Amino acid sequence: MELRLGLVRLGAQRGTLGWASVRECLSKARRLGGVRSPEAAAPSTVLALPAFSDEPSATFRRALHALAHAWCEDAHSLAVDVPETHYVRSGDVSIAYQVTGEGPFDVVFIPPFLTHAEVIWNTSFAPSLQGLSSFCRLIRFDKRGTGMSDRVTGAPTLETRMDDARAVMDAVGSSRAAFFGSSEGAAMSALFAATYPERTAALVLRSAYPRTLWAPDYPWGRSEEEYRREMERDLRLFGSREEALEAVRFRGLQFADDDEAQQWVNYFRWSGSPGAVEALALMNREIDVRHVLPAIRVPTLVLHGSKDAIVPLDVARLVAARIPGGEAR
């Protein structure tokens, strides 16, 4: 029996998510068929999870600050020992990665934009990584051209980034893993699940968009001009501190205070450069994975904030509807 999870509508823009439900998704996928080969799976069963309130329970407040940018203002900060960073060759590029946790299954986390494997532990997102690591073996890596991975020329494609993910999985001995992708990382995760079902146990998509630019059959996309302006705003990360703060807030992140916002400015500046931002923008503008969504045959959970100002909720409904067995609630 295969478990397929449909759309969960969150209560806020970057609304609080019930951590236990993500754990339940991945655990049930493992128990009920998510780790078996696609050929062995029976017809899917749709299980719709309930929506969550804007306020987290006390347990969730202790557990994490956010999940995939689902920020919670009053989360507790935990002391963190930075895990060791390792490297693996993917083609002629060295990819930096970390592994945390000793849970019964593997999760590959694919975040958006710029990342830095070590500096992230000094941000308010560290409790989220601890939360994930508490029930799985969490695998993360800096995409080529960012963070501690090698700098590259040009704009890497989603296919190249999939090769990097497979290289990291091979390096840590992970034959099959659940993929958790956020924003642009969701598009790559969906493409990976459709292309390599034998290596994908389950799929969690947060704030996913299957296409970037507007098209007659995709009215939620940005125009060329809108996308150009967004890239210019992102490049202000490397301008004055005031301009950088504005750029960070434009990305939809929620901060408890100015100190936390400055923390994230520092994080992004350590994670990349103007050239890295331009290369990512060139790659992301070409994203269109709508055609692969019907080919996904693994347990899938689609998460979205009902007040997300960047990706409309209707886009999440479209993603859930295109994936066989998916259901939007």
pLDDT confidence band for 15 (50 / 70 / 90)? very low
- How many distinct structural domains can be found in the chain? 1
Q: The tokens of 171 are what?
A: 């390096």
d(CA 193, CA 188): 9
List, for residues 69-104, the tens digit of each pLDDT value. 332 333 334 445 789 999 999 999 999 999 999 999
**What is the average pLDDT value for the chain, to the nearest integer?**
81
Q: What integer pLDDT is reported at residue 155 of this predicted model?
A: 85
CATH number at residue 131: 3.40.50.1820
Asked whether residue 208 is domain-assigned, the answer is yes
Q: Can you state the angle between helices 224-235 and 274-284, rounded to 10 degrees?
A: 160
Asked whether residue 142 is domain-assigned, the answer is yes
Asked whether residue 328 is domain-assigned, the answer is no
- Residue 92: domain span: 2-322
Asked whether residue 289 is domain-assigned, the answer is yes
d(CA 276, CA 233): 14
Asked whether residue 329 is domain-assigned, the answer is no
pLDDT of 123 higher than 80: yes
Asked whether residue 152 is domain-assigned, the answer is yes
38 vs 241 pLDDT, higher one: 241
pTM: 0.80
pLDDT confidence band for 25 (50 / 70 / 90)? low
